[in-house]
Amino acid sequence: MIAIEDATLIFNAGTPNENRVFEAFNLTVGKGEFITVIGSNGAGKSTLFNLLSGTVMPDSGRIVLNGRDVTKEPEFKRAKTIGRIFQDPLAGTASNMTLEDNMMVCFKKGFKGLRIGLNRKRREFFKEQLKFLDMGLEDRLKDNVGLLSGGQRQALTLLMMVLSRPELVLLDEHTAALDPRNAEIVLRLTTHFVKEYGLTTLMVTHNMQHAIDLGNRLLMMDSGEVVLDIRGEEKQHLTVEKLVAMFSKVRNKQFTNDEALLSR
């Protein structure tokens, strides 16, 4: 289970630019949950991910990852158990390394420090995994990753993240920079991997329909607060119109996220 307990985060404290992004913020994520996160501009979605991954530290409160208090743990340490994928499809892989070397880096991470090498059996395993992506990458183990398309790289990034067996997956608009066809492929793979490996996952998206269709729980954020937390049957019966109306009702204002509203 992942928990953020009573977290407060203030940027530029004590200056004219002081920005209290989170005040006594609480969130509990159950093991294996797949949560989509949507919200108005500046709601705090990326900052929530930054808090969980250790990119920013809370001014007060605790962050607990499967029973371990990681509040003070720096980002590079948390990265051993947290997999984060960004919008930029080039960010998750090393261009000047081959597919198999890239995959090996993540595979080793999954074995938490054990000395394992790249052998014939492991190459076969990588091929099997790549075959599943259905992009012909199983025959390109020796190619440099820099030769792949954006969609292929993001699918590979996803697969590599799965190989590292993360305790928490943070998907930060990971399909936003892909063309619609590749975005659908990567989302299909995401759903498959989350289910197959029971990955505890949070996914920020600006696409309201994706937020409704994917996952078991939906969080709507506004001004550093979770204003809607929808799951189960209620989520299954959601529509974009209902979601926008629910937001207006609880916040007494219109939902404003240009990208989200345009993607409807």
Ligand X SMILES: Nc1ncnc2c1ncn2[C@@H]1O[C@H](COP(=O)(O)OP(=O)(O)OP(=O)(O)O)[C@@H](O)[C@H]1O
Q: Is 70 in the site for ligand X (CB under 6 A)?
A: no
Distance CA(104)–CA(142), nearest Å, equals: 12
**Closest of 43, 36, 33, 29 to residue 210, by C-alpha:** 36
Q: Pick the closer one to ligand X by CB: 45 or 78.
A: 45
Q: Determine if 110 is a binding residue for ligand X (CB under 6 A).
A: no
Contact pick of 2, 4, 7, 21 for ligand X (by CB under 6 A) = 21
Q: Which is nearer to ligand X, 59 or 143 (CB)?
A: 59
State yes or no: residue 43 binds ligand X (CB under 6 A).
Answer: yes
- Closer of 43 and 159 to ligand X (Cβ): 43
Residue nearer to ligand X on the CB measure, 19 or 95: 19
Least Cα distance to 243 among 203, 198, 208, 201 occurs for: 208
Q: Supply the Cα-derived Rg of the chain in whole angstroms.
A: 19
Only one of the segments 44-52, 130-138, 148-156, 190-198 lies at the binding site for ligand X (rule: CB under 6 A); that segment is 44-52
Are the C-beta atoms of 201 and 2 separated by less than 8 Å?
Answer: no
* 41 in contact with ligand X (CB under 6 A): yes
Find the binder of ligand X among 7, 25, 35, 44 (CB under 6 A).
44
Instruction: Give yes or no for residue 42 binding ligand X (CB under 6 A).
Output: yes
- Least separation, in Å, of the C-beta of 122 and ligand X? 38
Cβ proximity to ligand X, 11 vs 111, nearer residue: 11
Binding site for ligand X (CB under 6 A): 11, 19, 21, 39, 41-47
